[in-house]
Structure 1
Amino acid sequence: MTRNPERRAATTRNLMITGLTVAAVAGWGAYAYSALSSMQLEQRLNGQAAALQDYQAQFLQQRRKAEEGAREIARLQEQLVAVRGDNERLALSAKETEATLATAEAQLASLQKLHGPPALGNAPALRGITPVPAKQDILVAQETLTRLGFGDLEADGVMGPSTRQAIEAFQRVAGLTVTGELHGLTLQSLMRSAKVVAAQNARAEPLPE
């Protein structure tokens, strides 16, 4: 009877030790599983954080590109507006140039018609002009050439180099044969030009109030 209680006590101690051992093993297992789960969760969170940072960096890069594109578009629009303005000014200048050219062509045609060779019916008008110009004719030609802007000639009635150069310049403008000589047709054209200029100046003078 004495051994049975001892055996029961030993059995009880063994059961308690076994229970504590199982509990300890189970506790360590739970702790290891919990630690493993925490590490996996931390790794997962770190991966998500890294992915989020990459996305944020990509988003910021795309945003910078979009802002740069917007600035480039604004700059191109400003250039387009400037080019349109330049084109409008060029078109206006071209119209003004065409109008000026048309006026110049009309004036040139009028001068060519005015200084063209006279008809045979006008031949008597040349009878008073001698083949060799008189001093008075040269004097009048010098004064007329100066008034028409072909040089600042001294009215001395002498056919000097300056007078010949002025006559040549006038003959080119009037469409005459350039000789530098004061022949009858040149003198007649000079007189007509002087009358035309005088008439234009008279029309341009303001009327008295």
Structure 2
Amino acid sequence: MTRTQEREGTPANRLMVAGIAIAAVAGWGAYSYSALSSTQLKHQLNGQTAALQDYQSQFLSQRRRAEEGAREITRLHEQLASARSALERLTARHKEAEAGLATAQEQLASLQKLHAPPALASAPALRGITPKPTKQDVLAAQEALTQLGFGNLEADGVMGPTTKQAIEEYQRVVGLTVTGELHGLTLQSLMRSAKVVAAQNDRSE
């Protein structure tokens, strides 16, 4: 080969080499772009997968809460039904108790009428003693109190302070209600006690 051919071939070789270099650079660029796109796609897929997993977790959590709420509602319905049943039973028992109370009240009223004491207006006089002591009653009581040793009373038939004090002492001794008044029971007791003492004095004489 001549120098002229060498000089003529050199640019052609250089052009070929340049073409190969450009093709190589383009190939590496396409490869780099392809690799970059694949990485970005992988990142996107990973992000979408994580989002789907998070959504699935939230969905399952909400589903569990909904199921728990449904069970709680069912339990509350059962408790409400039980409470209504108990209330109905208590209402029935209350009505029975009211009916029994009404019957008992009627029976008590009947017994009270049956065993009621007679009216004072229709009761016979007890040894001539009236609810309010007469002068003769007071006179007899004064004599009996003196005979029984409850003071030396003047038998004048007047209910004075001394007579009232003697009546109180007598009532206290024999166990009667201490009032100082000459009611029928006190006068009866005085008359009976005076008769007993008089009989004992007669026997001793």
> What TM-score, normalized by structure 2, do the two folds share?
0.57
Partners of 1:93 and 1:4 in 2: how far apart? 133
Amino acid at match of 2:100: T
Tell me the CA shift for residue 55 of structure 1: 0.4
**AA at the equivalent of 1:62:** Q
Secondary structure of 2:117's partner? Answer: coil
Q: Which residue of structure 2 lines up, in the alignment, with residue 161 of structure 1?
A: none
Runs of 4+ displaced beyond 2 Å: 2-8, 118-124
CA distance in 2, matches of 1:111, 1:55: 83
Q: Does 1:74 align with 2:74?
A: yes
Partner residue in 2 for 1:137 = none
Deviations 1:156-187 (A, max 9, x none): xxxxxxxxxxxxxxxxxxxxxxxxxxxxxxxx
Task: State the partner residue of 1:18.
Answer: 18
- Give the AA of the match of 2:49: A
In the alignment, which residue of structure 2 is the partner of 1:52? 52
Q: CA deviation at 1:23?
A: 0.4
Question: Which residue matches 2:5?
Answer: 5
1:167 aligns to what? none
Q: Counterpart of 1:90?
A: 90
Query: In the TM superposition, what is the alpha-carbon distance from 1:7 to its structure 2 partner?
Result: 2.4
Distance 2:4 2:115 in 1: 162
Structure 1 position 30 matched with structure 2 position 30: yes
Letter in 1 for 2:101: L
2:40 alignment counterpart: 40
CA distance in 1, matches of 2:95, 2:83: 18
Counterpart Cα distance in 2 of 1:33 and 1:4: 44
1:121-146: per-residue Cα shift (whole Å, max 9, x none)?
9768xxxxxxxxxxxxxxxxxxxxxx
Aligned length: 124
Larger RCO (CA within 8 A; separation ≥ 6): 1
Query: Match for residue 184 of structure 1?
Result: none
> Which consecutive unaligned segments of at least 5 residues does structure 1 have?
125-209
Q: Which has the larger radius of gyration?
A: 2
Distance in 1 (CA, whole Å) between partners of 2:51 and 2:24 is 40
Which amino acid is the alignment partner of residue 20 of structure 1? I
Partner of 1:116: 116
Deviations 1:15-38, CA, capped at 9 Å, x for gaps:
110000000011001101100000
Distance 1:19 1:32 in 2: 20
TM-score normalised according to structure 1 size: 0.56
User: Given residue 34 of structure 2, which amino acid in structure 1 is its aligned partner?
Assistant: S
Quick one: distance in 2 between partners of 1:120 and 1:25? 141
- Compute the displacement of 1:8 (Å): 2.6
SS where residue 87 of structure 1 aligns?
helix
Percent of aligned pairs sharing the same letter: 66
